Amino acid sequence: MRGIATKITGVVPLFMLFIAGAISAFEDIEKLRIWPLPAEVSHGGRRMYLSQDFKLVTEGSKYKDPSGILKEGFDRMLGVVRLSHVISGDRNSSGSGGSALLQGLHVIISSFTDELEYGADESYKLVVASREKPSYAQLEAKNVYGALHGLQTFSQLCHFSMKKKVIEILMTPWNITDQPRFSYRGLLIDTSRHYLPLPVVKNVIDSMTYAKLNVLHWHIVDSQSFPLEIPSYPKLWNGAYSSSQKYTFEDAAEIVNYARRRGIHVLAEIDVPGHALSWGKGYPSLWPSKNCQEPLDVSSDFTFKVIDGILSDFSKIFKFKFVHLGGDEVNTTCWSTTPRIAQWLKKHRKSEAEAYEYFVLRAQKIALSHGYEIINWEETFNNFGGKLSPKTVVHNWLGTGVVEKVTASGLRCIVSNQDKWYLDHIDSPWQNFYSNEPLANIKDQKQQSLVLGGEVCMWGENIDASDIEQTIWPRAAAAAERLWTPYAKLAKNPDKVTTRLAHFRCLLNQRGVAAAPLVGGGRVVPFEPGSCLAQ
């Protein structure tokens, strides 16, 4: 293929291309070894090398990198490309009189701001090497976060040559134009069922960037524990497992900032009124009674004052436009069996179901008062969808048919159906994650636009710091391509991308991410000695 450019755009062609023999266009795509697959790619057959002092150049860029986000991203990119290898080849030797030596990357960003805004343009264009400056690659983006995506793609074009002991890029010139299919590409982590130390959370965030995921859904608290400090109601922290298994308010701010500098939003969740037993460890009056501790007391104004305090504190650090208020799996029996709450129900002429609706809608109003739009689990829609705030995003997890109903009603939706995108279902293979289509059975374009994207969920009942990475990866990467790559370029048969995904899984391992083998479900072990690429 040396010297011959192939272009892959739009629908995957079915005819055969005659390049060094007949190979199909899809086979050519799979030779690219880029994950997730970009929207448009063309390449040649030339080899180039990175200079030992490969540098970042921003001449002509409107973005001045006031807080160092671009420079940090560039340095991280070089770090994962070099993989701690000693670059000992002749820094000026390219084997072709220097003409194939890349001196640096020229980044041009057209926006002045580095504010991370949901729905902003994440596109980029990458050329290796630039026609104007043949010794430089060129990366163009609307904003710095699109440029970070471009840096991730550039890193996958590079590899360390064991023979020459230099970083090389094969199949140049590269021309890549790329943007995500969906604006919401999420991963949920659960720090209530098992506490996750800060370095583990940060490692998860770093690994998300490699697959271009952009929302960390932080399921912070649940029935089992309340690990986060809430300054307005400090005794909530009493619900933590222990004094060492806690996050300070400053810790949470650090997680948000760490993610933001990598282009990742942090979605905070408090799951009310159910999944909140731990709240009462510090404030027992939040329980219906000492012997019936869940859901939160619907009859008490104090309950809603606490929610207001939490969301007020959240608004100081969690700057994502959405907050998740849960609302799932609410067993209201304690309300009717606790005499004082039963009396309140009678006085207000509410059934248990109507009290559940009242609670969710009152919590929504509190969130709105703090400037948030709301995400709720699908039970809220299934029970009283017509009453939800128009600013609600419904989070599908239970079954099929919900997304169509939600979008037909005019509400937005996020897809996380448990049969395909729950990572704690370790018997579910990566092929299920790849094949799950958020727009399945939705033909109307307006309804399609209301599907913001999807999220894979790493529920924490059976994972902790020791095994979270290999339970997430590589299956989350399969979903990441579904959410990033244009529909027409996705493989109809996921097995067709096995080689490319295996390469990405090995790349994750090389970068220090404990991604499990592809063969089998989640968290599997290698079945025999052999190459990483064969597992």
Which structural domains are found in the chain, ordered by start?
A: 31-84+97-178 (3.30.379.10), 184-516 (3.20.20.80)
What pLDDT, on the 0 to 100 scale, is given for residue 23?
36
What pLDDT, on the 0 to 100 scale, is given for residue 53?
94
Res. 140 pLDDT band, cuts 50 70 90: very high
% helix / strand / coil in the chain, to the nearest 5?
A: 35, 20, 45
What pLDDT, on the 0 to 100 scale, is given for residue 241?
98
Asked if 359 and 272 count as a contact pair (C-beta separation under 8 A), the reply is yes
The answer to which of 76-90, 344-358, 476-490 has the lowest mean pLDDT is 76-90
Res. 99 pLDDT band, cuts 50 70 90: low
What pLDDT, on the 0 to 100 scale, is given for residue 21?
33
What pLDDT, on the 0 to 100 scale, is given for residue 98?
52
Which residue in 270, 279, 409, 284 sits closest to 326, CA to CA? 270
pLDDT higher at 14 or 264:
264
Structure tokens at 127: 């050329």
The answer to whether 378 is a known catalytic residue is: no
Asked if 501 and 478 count as a contact pair (C-beta separation under 8 A), the reply is yes
Query: What does each C-alpha distance from 356 to 59, 253, 327, 361 come to in angstroms?
Result: 57, 32, 9, 9
Q: Measured in whole angstroms, how far is the alpha carbon of residue 407 from the centre of its chain?
A: 22
* Cα separation, 4 vs 123, whole angstroms: 27
Mean pLDDT (the chain) is: 92
**Which pTM was predicted?**
0.94
**Residue in 59, 329, 378, 437 annotated catalytic:** 329
Res. 399 pLDDT band, cuts 50 70 90: confident
What pLDDT, on the 0 to 100 scale, is given for residue 463?
97
- pLDDT tens for each residue of 232-277: 999 999 999 999 999 999 999 999 999 999 999 999 999 999 999 9
**Secondary structure (3-state) at 11:** coil
What pLDDT, on the 0 to 100 scale, is given for residue 90?
53
* Cα separation, 348 vs 289, whole angstroms: 20
Mean pLDDT over 458-472 rounds to 98
Mean pLDDT over 278-291 rounds to 98
Portion of the chain with pLDDT greater than 70, in percent: 92
**Secondary structure (3-state) at 56:** strand
What pLDDT, on the 0 to 100 scale, is given for residue 169?
95
Asked whether residue 30 carries a pLDDT value surpassing 90, the answer given is no
